[in-house]
Amino acid sequence: MRILMISNRYPPDVRGGYEIICEQVTRLLRERGHSVDVLTGLIQKQETDPQIHRLLHHAPAIPKRRWQKRFLWRPSRVRIYMRNDRIARQFFKARASNYDLAVCWNPSTIGIAVAARAQVSGLPVVFYVEDYSILSHSLIVQGSRRNLEADWMDKGWHRMIYAPMRAAARNLKLEHMIFCSDYMRRYYDEYEVSAPRSAVIHNAIRFQQEPLESLPEPAPMSLLFVGRVVEDKGVHLGIEALSHLHKTHGLTQATLTIVGTGDETYLGRLKRQTKTLGLEQNVTFAGRMDPQAVLNTYANYRAFLFTSMWDEPFGLSLIESMGMGTPVIANAVGAVPEIVQDGITGFVAERDNPEAMAARVSRILKEDALWRSMRRNAWERVQTHFTEPRLAQEVDEFLQATLKR
């Protein structure tokens, strides 16, 4: 097959899991003999891969002040979307015959009209759903008042700001969709944004698992958080849970290492929280790590805390942690319950409840037999459910079937 990936960002331009998974699937399909190009956003670094076309422009970041968001950001975002629509029209006029189909990934900063141009040119388009952006943009195009981003706006503003983009994408059809989890498929169905043909294909780890016996023995009281250090990731809940471990469960030697960067204001708040709770000697802010270093560090910790407060579509760090034999204690948000088997590969705690999380963590820290059982179960679950060969085969089969319809 000759495939075109359409994505707002593509490594080394990365904001989260969406871009990482796009690159992973691109690589896997190329390894299976397919020709895969990428149409994505501009970056300052010079691109050396001739199959990656960095032509599209990014909409500005969302401002914090409400009036700026309402009167400045929304119109400027639509102008960028319209600009990308013109670029896409020229791109597909010249290159549409080079491809058999297109796969639309995250359109959040480039606009979904780019995918619509692929459809207008005659290409089947598969929408790869890893978050809420395709849903939100689809609702905007439809002019729906249920739009996730703009349902508070009055009807006049809604029409004036979004009418140009609806015109650009008026032919958009969601006919083929791949969802990263059952949770995401159900969520899209609730908004009546679904496709006649869809499949749930779970994500995969990006490394070859080492034998469980060869992994290091972690420090007995060590906990790990990996992710963006922003409020919706709930890092403060992890620190609160650590405080409960100390004060309620008597585990005063328990430590928490926080890997990641993000909102500096929130980071400052976390450091003040740590000081207030008397945990300065027990919490380490490790900052940003190289992706490979992050993968290697999971096995050095007794348990991984997944403290997210928002409904995660999947959670790559969950399977990365389990793939390195590290059990997970996670908030029951989004797709987490279909990835982490409660009581088997880790624990799924009541969301936004640090006391409940601490109670489950204490069991893993105190009960060595339980931890070893969960460690093996977590490693084996990834070995059987979240591997790259499985991901490559399922995506390949879905795309092949798309062409036959």
**Domain containing residue 71: CATH number:** 3.40.50.2000
Q: Can you tell me the mean pLDDT for 237-265?
A: 95
Provide the 10 A C-beta neighbour count for residue 94. 9
| CA 125 – CA 211 distance, rounded (Å) | 40
Is pLDDT at 56 greater than 70 in this prediction? yes
**Residue 294 belongs to domain spanning:** 212-385
- Whether residue 339 contacts residue 321, with contact meaning beta carbons closer than 8 Å, is answered with no
Is pLDDT at 342 greater than 80 in this prediction? yes
Greater model confidence, 80 or 304: 304
**In which band, very low, low, confident or very high, does the pLDDT at 151 lie, cut at 50, 70 and 90?**
very low
Q: Is 0.95 topped by the overall pTM? A: no
pLDDT confidence of residue 71: 55
Q: Are residues 70 and 19 in the same domain?
A: yes
Q: Are residues 392 and 377 in the same domain?
A: no
pLDDT confidence of residue 154: 46
Q: Are residues 117 and 136 in the same domain?
A: yes
Instruction: List Cβ<8 Å contacts ≥24 apart for 394-397.
Output: 394/199, 394/201, 395/25, 395/28, 395/29, 395/178, 395/201, 396/29, 396/32, 396/34
Q: Are residues 243 and 130 in the same domain?
A: no
Q: Are residues 227 and 354 in the same domain?
A: yes
Q: Are residues 51 and 135 in the same domain?
A: yes
Q: Are residues 140 and 53 in the same domain?
A: yes
Q: Are residues 144 and 235 in the same domain?
A: no
| CA 325 – CA 382 distance, rounded (Å) | 9
Q: Can you tell me the mean pLDDT for 28-32?
A: 97
Least confident of 9-13, 96-100, 145-149, 187-191: 145-149
pLDDT confidence of residue 44: 83
Provide the 10 A C-beta neighbour count for residue 56. 26
**HSE of 320, CA atoms in CB hemisphere, 13 A:** 24
Q: Are residues 151 and 7 in the same domain?
A: yes
268-298 pLDDT per residue, tens: 999 999 999 999 999 999 998 888 888 889 9
Q: Can you tell me the mean pLDDT for 47-75?
A: 76
Q: Are residues 245 and 374 in the same domain?
A: yes
Is pLDDT at 308 greater than 90 in this prediction? yes
Q: Are residues 163 and 312 in the same domain?
A: no
| CA 65 – CA 323 distance, rounded (Å) | 41
Question: Domain tally for the chain?
Answer: 2
Q: Are residues 229 and 342 in the same domain?
A: yes
